[in-house]
Chains A and B, each alone.
Chain A
Amino acid sequence: MTQVTVKHMWKEYGGHVVLENVNLHVGDHEFVTIVGASGCGKTTFLRMLLGIEAPSRGEFLIDGRPLPGEPGPDRGIVFQRYSLFPHLTVLQNLLLGLELKDAPLTGRLFGAARRRALDKARTLLAAIGLEAAANKHPAQLSGGMQQRLSIAQSVIREPKILLLDEPFGALDPGITADMHELIIKLWNAHKMTIFMVTHDLKESFALGTRLLVFDKVRIDPQAPEAFGATITYNIPLKGQRSAS
C-alpha cells in the first residue's frame, strides 16, 4: 500500500515562489496524470517525489514518512531522454537493477543467481517486445524502443511509485498508442502508483485515474515571481484499472 500525502506544501527559490499551498492525497495503485503550462512547477513536483528537491515549507509524506533526501529503489523514474546506459546492451540495461540489488560489492551476479535474474529480465524483455534487440546497444534503437526499455528498466526493481517525466513527448504520435498500452499493462501487473507529467491533455484523460492541473491562482503583473502555482483541479477519472 502506497499513500502520498501533501499538506500546505510550498516550494520557493529565494524570492521566487514555484509552488504554493499544495494539498494532495493519493492512494494505492493510482495513475496520476499531471498537466499545466510550462514553468508552473510540474517537474519540480516530480523532482520532489524523486528526492532531488526538498519542500521549503509544509509536509510531503510517502506512507507517512517525510521524503528521503535522495533517489532510491522504491521510486522509479523514466525521463524523456538519456536515462539508458549507453555502454550496456538492452538485456544488460534490464539486468542492471537486479544486479545492483543482490550484488552490493561487485554489482554483478554469477551462476544460479545470474540465471534467475536473466530469466526475469528476458520475461520482461518479451513483454516489451524487444527480444530481437537483446544484444543491441541503446544508440542502435529507435526512440520508441528506447523508451519502452527505459520503462521496463524502471519497473524491474518493482518500485512502489513510478515517475514519468513526459516520457512520450519526444516520440512520433504513431507510437504513443503502443506505449500507452504498455504502461497500462505494467501498471496493472505491478500495482504501483504512477505520477506522469505530460503536455498531452488527451493522454492525461485517457490514462489517469486522477488528473492534476497545476496553475497559478494569483498573478501579480508587477511581480510575476511573487506567487506560485498550485493544484487548481484534482479530477478523479475512470482510468484503465484491470478488473482482476
Chain B
Amino acid sequence: MRRLINRRPGRGGAFGLGLLPFILVISAYLYYSHQRLEANPGDKLLPAPASIGAAIHRYALEEDERTGDYLLWTDTRASLERLGMGLAISAAIGLGLGLAIGVVPYLRASAAPFVAAVSLVPPLAVLPILFIAVGLGELAKVTLIVVGVAPVIVRDLAMRTAELPTEQIIKAQTLGASTWQLVLRVVLPQSWPRLIDALRLSLGSAWLFLIAAEAIASTEGLGFRIFLVRRYLAMDVILPYVAWITLLALAMDRLLRLVRAKAFAWAEPGV
C-alpha cells in the first residue's frame, strides 16, 4: 500500500472529485428546500428550483414593469463598468507608482512608507468620507475600489520590481541603458505578467468594495439589487444573483490567466 501522499487520482477521477463538493452542496440544498416547502409552502428561505428559475426568467428575460429594463443585464452592466473602471485606474496607478518606487531609490525613500500606511487604511472606513467629498454618484464607488485595490498593487509591483536580479539591472547599464530606457525595455515588459497576477489577487476585494458601495448608495447594480430584494426576503433572486456574481468573478480570473499565458508565455513557469 503506497503512502497517501503518493496516490494520485487519474484525469477523470480528478474531474469527478472536483465536481463532488458541488453536487453535495446542491443535493443538500434540494433536500432541505423540499423538506421546508413540504412543511410550509409559503417558506421563502430555501426556494424551490422552479421558483428560482422563474425569478431568473423574470430578471433576465422580461422587461421590468416600472423601468422597462432587463434588470439582470442593466445591473450587470452597471457593476462591471464600475469594477472595470476601478480596476483599470488601480492598475494604472499600481504600474506607474509601483515601478517608480521599485526603480528609483529617492522615490522609494519618500513614497514607500506613505503607500504602506495608506494601504492599511480600511477602505470601508473611508467610504463615508468619499460620500461626503464626492457625492453618492459613480465617482464614489469607483474611488472606493481604487482606494482599496491600488495601494496593494503598488506595493506588490514595487516589491516585484525590486526583486529583479541585480545582474539584469547592471547588465542593462553596461549596454548603455539610461534610467528611462531601463524602465521601458527591461522593467516594464517584465511587469505586465506581474500586474496581471496582482489584479487576479485583487479581484476578490474589488468585488467586495463594489458590492459594499452599491449596497449603501445606488440605483442599479448587482450589489444594489441583492440588498434591495433582501427587504422582501427574496431568496429566489438573491441566490441566482450571488451565483452570477461568482461566475463573473471566476470568468474574469480565468480570462486574466489566459491573457497572461498567451501574451507572456515567457513568464509561465516551466517553459
- Chain A residues at the B interface, C-beta cutoff of 8 Å: 50, 52, 70-73, 75-77, 79, 81-88, 96-97, 99-101, 104-108, 137, 139-140, 150, 153-154, 157, 159
State how many angstroms separate the Cβ of A96 from the closest Cβ of chain B: 6
Contact call A86/B266, Cβ cutoff below 8 A: yes
Contact call A100/B170, Cβ cutoff below 8 A: no
Stretch from B1-9, B38-46, B176-184 contacting the other chain: B176-184
B170-190: contact bitstring with A at CB < 8 Å (1 yes, 0 no)? 111111111011001110011
Specify which chain B residues have a CB less than 8 angstroms from the CB of A83 in the assembled complex: 165, 167-168, 170-171
Contacting residue for A71 out of B174, B184, B185, CB 8 A: B174
Contact call A106/B184, Cβ cutoff below 8 A: yes
B26 within 8 A of A: no
Specify which chain B residues have a CB less than 8 angstroms from the CB of A73 in the assembled complex: 174-176
> Known: A72-B173, A81-B167. Contact between A107 and B185, CB under 8 A?
yes
- Chain B residues at the A interface, C-beta cutoff of 8 Å: 165, 167-168, 170-178, 180-181, 184-186, 189-190, 264-267, 271
**A85 to B173 Cα, complex, angstroms:** 13
Contact call B167/A100, Cβ cutoff below 8 A: no
Residue contacts A-B, CB under 8 angstroms, 26 given: A70-B173, A71-B170, A72-B174, A76-B175, A79-B171, A81-B167, A82-B165, A82-B168, A83-B170, A84-B171, A85-B171, A85-B186, A87-B190, A87-B264, A97-B175, A97-B176, A100-B175, A100-B177, A104-B180, A106-B184, A107-B181, A137-B265, A153-B171, A154-B171, A157-B174, A159-B174
Specify which chain A residues have a CB less than 8 angstroms from the CB of B271 in the assembled complex: 137, 139-140
Q: Is the interface of B mostly helix, strand, loop or mixed?
A: helix
Specify which chain B residues have a CB less than 8 angstroms from the CB of A100 in the assembled complex: 172, 175-178, 181, 185
**A157 to B175 Cα, complex, angstroms:** 6
> Known: A107-B184, A137-B271, A140-B271. Contact between A77 and B170, CB under 8 A?
yes
**A152 to B165 Cα, complex, angstroms:** 20
State how many angstroms separate the Cβ of A178 from the closest Cβ of chain B: 22
**A84 to B180 Cα, complex, angstroms:** 19
Other A-B pairs, 15, CB within 8 Å; known A76-B174, A85-B190, A101-B176: A70-B173, A71-B174, A76-B175, A77-B171, A79-B171, A81-B167, A85-B171, A85-B172, A87-B264, A100-B177, A100-B185, A107-B180, A107-B181, A107-B185, A137-B265
Contact call A52/B170, Cβ cutoff below 8 A: yes
State how many angstroms separate the Cβ of A154 from the closest Cβ of chain B: 7
Specify which chain B residues have a CB less than 8 angstroms from the CB of A82 in the assembled complex: 165, 167-168
**A88 to B266 Cα, complex, angstroms:** 8
- For the complex of A and B, list the 9 residue pairs with the smallest distance between their C-beta atoms, beginning with the closest: A73-B176, A71-B173, A82-B165, A97-B175, A82-B167, A83-B171, A107-B185, A137-B266, A107-B181
State how many angstroms separate the Cβ of B221 from the closest Cβ of chain A: 39
Contact call B175/A75, Cβ cutoff below 8 A: no
**A97 to B185 Cα, complex, angstroms:** 11
Specify which chain A residues have a CB less than 8 angstroms from the CB of B185 in the assembled complex: 96, 99-100, 107-108
Specify which chain B residues have a CB less than 8 angstroms from the CB of A50 in the assembled complex: 170, 174
Contact call A72/B267, Cβ cutoff below 8 A: no
Specify which chain A residues have a CB less than 8 angstroms from the CB of B175 in the assembled complex: 73, 76, 96-97, 100, 153-154, 157
Specify which chain B residues have a CB less than 8 angstroms from the CB of A97 in the assembled complex: 175-176
Specify which chain A residues have a CB less than 8 angstroms from the CB of B178 in the assembled complex: 100, 104
Specify which chain A residues have a CB less than 8 angstroms from the CB of B266 in the assembled complex: 86-87, 137, 139
State how many angstroms separate the Cβ of B220 from the closest Cβ of chain A: 42
**A196 to B56 Cα, complex, angstroms:** 72
Specify which chain B residues have a CB less than 8 angstroms from the CB of A153 in the assembled complex: 171, 175
**A81 to B170 Cα, complex, angstroms:** 12
**A139 to B267 Cα, complex, angstroms:** 9
Residue of chain A at shortest CB distance from B266 = A137
State how many angstroms separate the Cβ of A117 from the closest Cβ of chain B: 13
**A59 to B265 Cα, complex, angstroms:** 48
Contact call B174/A154, Cβ cutoff below 8 A: yes
